[in-house]
Amino acid sequence: MIKTEYGAFDGDKWESISQICFKQNFREEGYQEVKATPGDYGIEGFTRTGKVFQCYCPDESYSSAELYIKQRDKITKDLAKLKTFEKQLKGFLGDTKINKWYFVTPIYGKNEIVAHCTSKRDEVKSWGLSIIDYDNFEVIFEDISFLHPHLNLAIDSTNQKINLSPDTPITNTDKLKWKGKEINLVKNAQRKHSLRFDENAPNIDKRVDDLTEKTIASFLGGNILLRMWQNEYPTEYEKFLSIVSLVENEVVEKCMFPVQDKNALYFSFKSLVEEKLNATFPKLEQEMIMNLTNQVLADWILRCPISFE
């Protein structure tokens, strides 16, 4: 699976979503899908204005260098099919000649892929194929942004789960950089986390520091995730704020009453948030649900909605 800001994709999901976007984005240009059966001719579809499209998404994650090699080799292989299947493609295209060959993939491997596309353009033009518009032919590399403005619609219609969580979790690079500083929000976290422990528990100070570090990381990383969600799915984001506000009111009320086991109360709040998010946002991947839940709990710990009596 390849992870993007719009979720994770494998080859089949990427092709399905791309086809929906191509049909919407190029409807006025007479877009025609080309099925992979009975033969793979190296294109997913074309328009009557001379645009040809090929999709690619590997089924596993690679480093940028490895991804570049995969993309480079795929472009080379599929462009060669223009020569191999010239006669069959001529049957599809009719009088249409190819002036733009688009390679559409979720993310860039390396910028060098553009130079490879330029090199392959010149090579294709040297073949003398009857299906090429030699005056205007280009090989163009595009990433997921090419599928806008219908990408979100396509994701919804294919039941693609959404996960905007970054590949690398946000952590505090300078451990305990807040220690000894008069930061009210951090002092809130330290005080509240200390109350979660039995007074006879060992190493309480160290454990409180660790929990405070995790709280700060969850808050910062969660805020990045929320900004991405707000930008890409503003309606869902506003719904999230409303749900969290309602749950927060319930949490504040529950915190007015003393309890024996404050740690159990904390985890009951966490379960409540996760349950509400799962029920409200069925299209979110569990990883994103967990990261959002951690952000909400961190926010409540740093401010004062969670206040152990």
Distance (Å, whole) CA 164 – CA 144: 14
Residue 152 has pLDDT above 90, yes or no: no
Mean pLDDT confidence for 68-87 = 96
Rg of the chain over Cα atoms, rounded to whole angstroms, equals: 26
CA 303, 308, 309 angle in degrees (round to 5)? 130
Binned at pLDDT 50, 70 and 90, residue 304 comes out as confident
Q: Which two tokens stand for residue 269?
A: 């709040």
The predicted pLDDT at position 177 comes to 65
Calculate ∠ Cα 136-56-228, nearest 5°: 100
Inform me whether the pLDDT recorded for 237 exceeds 80: yes
Question: 86-105: per-residue pLDDT in tens?
Answer: 999 999 999 999 999 999 99
Predicted pLDDT of residue 173 = 44
Helix (H) or strand (E) holding 77: helix 64-84
Higher per-residue pLDDT: 61 or 255: 255
CATH architecture assigned to 2-157: 3-Layer(aba) Sandwich (3.40)
Among 184, 205, 178, 177, which residue's Cα sits nearest to residue 193? Answer: 205
Q: What is the mean pLDDT of residues 249-265?
A: 94
First to last CA, the chain: 46
Confidence label for 140 from pLDDT (cuts 50, 70 and 90): very high
73: buried, middle or exposed (CB in 10 Å: 19+, 13-18, 0-12)?
A: exposed
Burial class of residue 15 (count of CB atoms within 10 Å of its CB; 0-12, 13-18, 19+)? middle
Alpha carbon distances (Å) from 268 to 153, 243, 305: 35, 17, 14
Query: Considering the chain, what percentage of its residues have pLDDT values greater than 70?
Result: 94
Mean pLDDT, range 221-250, rounded to an integer: 92
The answer, yes or no, to whether residue 182 has pLDDT greater than 60, is no
Work out the pLDDT band at 157, boundaries 50, 70, 90: confident
Residue 160 has pLDDT above 60, yes or no: yes
The overall pTM is greater than 0.95: no
- The arithmetic mean of pLDDT across residues 187-192, rounded, is 91
Residue 277 has pLDDT above 50, yes or no: yes
C-beta of residue 11 within 8 angstroms of C-beta of residue 58: yes
Q: Looking at residues 267-279, what average pLDDT do you find?
A: 97
**Which pLDDT belongs to residue 106?**
94
**Residue 36 pLDDT greater than 70, yes or no:** yes
| Domain residue limits, the chain | 2-157, 184-302
Own/partner long-range contacts of 93-97 (Cβ < 8 Å, ≥24 apart): 93/46, 93/131, 96/46, 96/47, 96/48, 96/49, 96/50, 97/50, 97/131, 97/132, 97/133
- The values of phi and psi at residue 8, to 5°, are -100, 145
SS3 call for 280? helix
Side chain identity, residue 276: K
